[in-house]
């Protein structure tokens, strides 16, 4: 029995959606939105034109993810390293673009029942940007559908540092360092992502095969999907293609998985080979 296509999808998206198993969708998808500069350079345009064009990709991806019922989507918008190492003109442009996006998007986010959250060292961003960020997340606070998390001024190593500091401070408040409890659960509970499940799928656009300091703890067992598509050309249909590839993967978590080839490995050893070593 074919599942029904959510309203508002075009032909290509519906076809891609019908190839998916709706019962095995990733619960959390994380995306490294890369390739804006290269997109612009190919068109002999300034890098910032690529960032501007990337907004349409964000809209389409967010809308499709929400429509098909993905519970959590996290977008790497800019890293702490981007913020520290790129020219001020580019950083300023990204800040203005972010503010404009936040203002313009509130209505659509509410229409789609999406709650907006952030990860990253927000306190280091310009105050007016922090204001816009707070306004937008407050405006979507009551929504119960997909959680959209924007990683802004984000670094996974900084996140882990902040988690350890917060663990130590919590222990100090509770009567001293002998109350410090360090295990996987307590560390996870002090990360910025404490309210999110670990991503099942991480997508990187523009062909780069690296994590660039994104969710290092949380991506431990995520499936990695790299597409050559540059971020400004990415749309909902490419998201669905990434999910299709995800559904073809076998997740083993260090175990032996489902492949009969190794489940019954022992039984395949010919009788005469037994005991000869």
The binding site for ligand IPE (CB under 6 A) comprises 32-38, 76-79, 82, 94, 206, 208, 210, 212, 231
Q: How far apart are CA 111 and CA 190, in angstroms?
A: 32
Assess whether 82 carries a catalytic annotation. Answer: yes
Partners of residue 176 on adjacent β-strands: none
- What mask of x and - would describe binding to Mg ion in positions 30 to 59, judged by CB under 5 A? ----x-------------------------
* Angstrom distance (rounded) from CA 167 to CA 179: 10
Choosing among ligand IPE, Mg ion, none, which partner's interface includes residue 36 (Cβ < 5 to 8 Å by kind)?
ligand IPE
212's contact among ligand IPE, Mg ion, none, with CB below 5 to 8 A by partner kind, is ligand IPE
| Nearest residue (CB) to Mg ion, 34 versus 200 | 34
Q: 5 with 68: CB under 8 angstroms?
A: no
- Which strands, in side-by-side order, build the sheet including 28-32? 115-119, 147-154, 72-79, 28-32, 201-204, 223-226
The smaller minimum CB distance to ligand IPE, of residues 186 and 212, is found at 212
155: nearest Cα among 199, 120, 194: 120
**Residues binding Mg ion: number (CB under 5 A):** 1
Coil, strand or helix at 227: coil
34 is catalytic: yes
**Phi, psi values for residue 31, rounded to 5°:** -130, 130
Catalytic option among 36, 82, 112, 153: 82
> Which is closer to Mg ion, CB of 34 or CB of 117?
34
Which does residue 82 bind out of ligand IPE, Mg ion, none, counting CB within 5 to 8 angstroms by kind? ligand IPE
Catalytic residue among 34, 112, 153, 200: 34
Tell me which residue of 69, 64, 75, 70 sits closest to 27, measured CA to CA. 70
> Tokens standing for 41?
């350079």
Closest CB 153 distance from ligand IPE, rounded Å? 10
Cβ–Cβ < 8 Å for 98, 77: yes
Given ligand IPE, Mg ion, none, residue 210, with its beta carbon under 5 to 8 Å by kind, binds ligand IPE
Residues that bind Mg ion (CB under 5 A): 34
């Amino acid at each position: 029995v074919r599942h029904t296509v959510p309203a508002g999808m075009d032909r290509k998206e519906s076809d891609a959606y019908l190839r998916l198993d709706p019962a095995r969708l990733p619960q959390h998808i994380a995306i490294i939105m890369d390739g804006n500069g290269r997109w612009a350079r190919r068109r002999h345009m300034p890098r910032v034109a690529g960032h501007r064009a990337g907004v349409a990709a964000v809209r389409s991806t967010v809308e499709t993810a929400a429509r098909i019922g993905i519970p959590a989507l996290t977008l790497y918008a800019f890293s702490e390293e981007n913020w520290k190492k790129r020219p001020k003109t580019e950083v300023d442009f990204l800040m203005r673009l972010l503010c404009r996006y936040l203002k313009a998007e509130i209505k659509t986010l509410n229409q789609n029942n999406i709650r907006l959250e952030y990860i990253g060292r927000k306190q280091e961003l310009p105050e007016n940007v922090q204001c816009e960020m707070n306004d937008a997340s407050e405006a979507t606070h009551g929504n119960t559908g997909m959680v959209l998390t924007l990683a802004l001024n984000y670094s996974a190593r900084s996140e882990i540092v902040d988690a350890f500091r917060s663990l130590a401070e919590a222990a100090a408040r509770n009567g001293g360092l002998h109350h410090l409890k360090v295990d996987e659960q307590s560390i996870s509970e002090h990360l910025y992502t404490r309210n999110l499940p670990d991503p099942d799928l991480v997508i990187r656009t523009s062909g780069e095969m690296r994590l660039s300091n994104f969710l290092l703890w949380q991506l431990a067992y995520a499936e990695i999907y790299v597409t050559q598509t540059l971020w400004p050309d990415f749309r909902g249909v490419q998201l669905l293609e990434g999910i299709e590839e995800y559904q073809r993967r076998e997740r083993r978590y260090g175990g032996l998985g489902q492949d009969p080839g190794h489940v019954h490995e022992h039984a395949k050893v010919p009788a005469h080979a037994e005991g000869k070593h």
